[in-house]
Structure 1
Amino acid sequence: MASTSARALSLLSMLTGGSTLTADELARRLGTSRRTVRRDVETLRELGYTVDPVKGAGGGYRLGPGGALPPLVLDEEQVVAVVVALQTTSTVLRGIEDSSRRALATVRQVMPRRLRRDADAFTVTAVPNQWEFPAPAPEADLVRTVGAAVRRREVLRVDDGDGTRSLEPHHLVVWAARWYLVAHDRSRGDWAVLRLDRLTSLETTGVPFTDRPLPEGGPGALVQRTPDRGDHLAPWPCTGSAVLDLPAEVVARFAPGGAVVRGLDGGRCELSMGAWSWIGLAGLYTTFGSPMTDVRPRELRDAFARAAGHLTAAVGRPGSA
């Protein structure tokens, strides 16, 4: 490093990740010695930062709470992450567009010139594709309220359209551009997955709860395999349904956003979904590779017949190598 100040800033950047780093690891990343690391740690302490020593086999240093507000210390990869995230927030959250623009302008102003050039290289415009099956993003205030209850581990009382429920909110999950709350339902004594934007009459109770062991795979896997997660059929120009010879948990994992899965007996399920055309909707159903019955409406059945004709003709006319 060219100077003590440059090393100290780099050391601060490494420690702001929240993990404990050994003196050997810090020395390797800084390209210096353990003794120099100790001196740079003392420099940070003199500047008002709390750098705690961690003893034991996995010991080292970590940044403690309190102290002075750290300056903006970012490397090239962190610059890319911050800039792209701030420019694409509107795709998953409403009511935060202006705040994101102002935050990006503030971050850019305090960047060194070299990193500012890197940031400007990642100016992007996020445009949803029809294949993404987008949904309206939830309001930032809603996410903030529920997220605070998750962080504080406080019971929520909500209405999801089926009545009032008392929930222990554990995690927020974004999947298929939709926000879900993973919670333990006190009334039903089981885990529940709820669409965040479907919740009404949201009330924070201030009642604390203790953590529970999550189901296998964690919150993300639970959202993916839960058919009854509060989804409604998206308002596409063409919508239909069919019964598949597949378990609801499997179909729920791979169904596009805006689809609805309903479990049936015998390891079958009913899948309802939509698309921009009947032939496009028929193509979506064929991706599951399952026998189908009770296909509705007639337009979807006709689209399956046309698709079958196209596929049969394609098989009968092999192209040149």
Structure 2
Amino acid sequence: MTDGPPTTSGRLLSLLSLLQTPREWPGPELARRLAVSERTVRHDVERLRALGYPVSATRGSTGGYRLAAGQAMPPLLLEDAEAVAVAVALSASHASVEGMEETSLGALTKLLQVLPTRLRGQVDALRASTVRAAPRRRGDEVSGTVLADLAACIRDREVVRFGYADHAGATTERRVEPYRLVSLGRRWYLVAHDLLRDDWRTFRVDRLREPRGVGHRFRARELPADDLAAYVAARTRSVQRKVTGQVVLEAPAAVVEERMGWWTDGSIEALGEERCRVRIAGRSTEDIAFWVGVLGVDFTVEGPEELRSAVRALEQRYAAATRP
């Protein structure tokens, strides 16, 4: 195993690539991977440290080398596929975070300047072939600083206080144990344990007012679900299901299930091959009346009376719209 100047630069890049994976590398394994001696590995580690890479080392049979967090950000080494993936992610930056699109564009510009021609061609082809629709604005954008502060409190298991505005604008003071941030559609949600209510809650981050850590640490609880994204989605849907109604549709149960999705309340009863009874949930009886109407099949309202009234009102409105 030899060490010569013509191979030093390439070997340092290979060593750096290995160290950038989140694990600890024993010296003998690095020497085997790089086909050099352990002494050469030690010298190369010192060279990386001199270049600003904070490589830490632990002694003993289970010790090894790993890249630690430093005070400054030295050059980052990416594999080809990783560089393309980062460029694609920056091109499709999440517009619901305030200022993120401009920041992402700046980072993408810097990355494209240093990409090899073969990789830049892949990214350029993707960007040229992709059309991004203007996002539909729903609520306020979320501050990237707020997300970072909440993430830090989650990492440090620090209790957070904030004012929370409900859909009507009424604000209550909350004190919670934060656990996860969930991105759902164009909104961000905080999954937390509300200490005053002693229960799990999901909070829209754009409705938080002056969130701040209070310096108190907490012991982690068992999460309310293994799949927190699905948990938040279900909680969000439950807000949209304030009222229910029951109708008989002149259509097969399988067709209705496919077309209505989660608007059903989990109850579709087949009444033969071409009819079914459905329990539907919505924000209001007016919403239910509309969604049943756009199915394009005949139906009969079984209840409640408020849904019958909503259907009659919709019928009169449509009839009035067609008069000369």
TM class by shorter-chain length?
0.5 to 0.7
Residue 285 of structure 1 corresponds to 261
AA matched with 1:51:
V
Q: Following TM superposition, by how much is the alpha carbon of 1:169 offset from its aligned partner in structure 2, in angstroms?
A: 1.9
**Mean CA deviation greater in 52-61 or 287-296:** 287-296
User: Cα deviation per residue 1:110-159 (whole Å; 9 max; x = unaligned)?
Assistant: 445554445434426463699xx995673234434433443453422221
Residue 46 of structure 2 corresponds to 42
1:169 and 1:183 in contact (8 A); partners too: yes
1:155 and 1:204 in contact (8 A); partners too: yes
AA matched with 2:279:
T
Report 1:93-172 matches (<5 A). 93-113=97-117, 115-123=119-127, 125=130, 127=132, 138-141=141-144, 142-152=146-156, 153-161=158-166, 163-172=172-181
Task: Say whether residues 1:197 and 2:206 are aligned partners.
Answer: yes
Q: Following TM superposition, by how much is the alpha carbon of 1:26 offset from its aligned partner in structure 2, in angstroms?
A: 3.4
Q: Following TM superposition, by how much is the alpha carbon of 1:97 offset from its aligned partner in structure 2, in angstroms?
A: 1.5
2:180 and 2:190 in contact (8 A); partners too: yes
Aligned partner of residue 19 in structure 1, secondary structure: coil
CA gap 1:307/1:226 in 2 versus in 1, 3 angstroms: farther
Task: Say whether residues 1:184 and 2:160 are aligned partners.
Answer: no
Residue 215 of structure 1 corresponds to 223
Task: Say whether residues 1:306 and 2:297 are aligned partners.
Answer: yes
Task: Report the count of equivalent residues.
Answer: 265
| Distance in 1 (alpha carbons) for counterparts of 2:124 and 2:35 | 29
AA matched with 1:123:
R
| Distance in 2 (alpha carbons) for counterparts of 1:224 and 1:51 | 39
| Distance in 2 (alpha carbons) for counterparts of 1:31 and 1:129 | 52
Q: Following TM superposition, by how much is the alpha carbon of 1:27 offset from its aligned partner in structure 2, in angstroms?
A: 4.4
TM-score (norm 2): 0.64
Residue 20 of structure 2 corresponds to 16
AA matched with 1:190:
D
TM-score (norm 1): 0.65
Structure 2 unmatched ranges of 5 or more: 247-254, 269-277, 300-324
| Distance in 2 (alpha carbons) for counterparts of 1:94 and 1:105 | 19
> How much is the aligned-residue C-alpha RMSD, in angstroms?
4.1
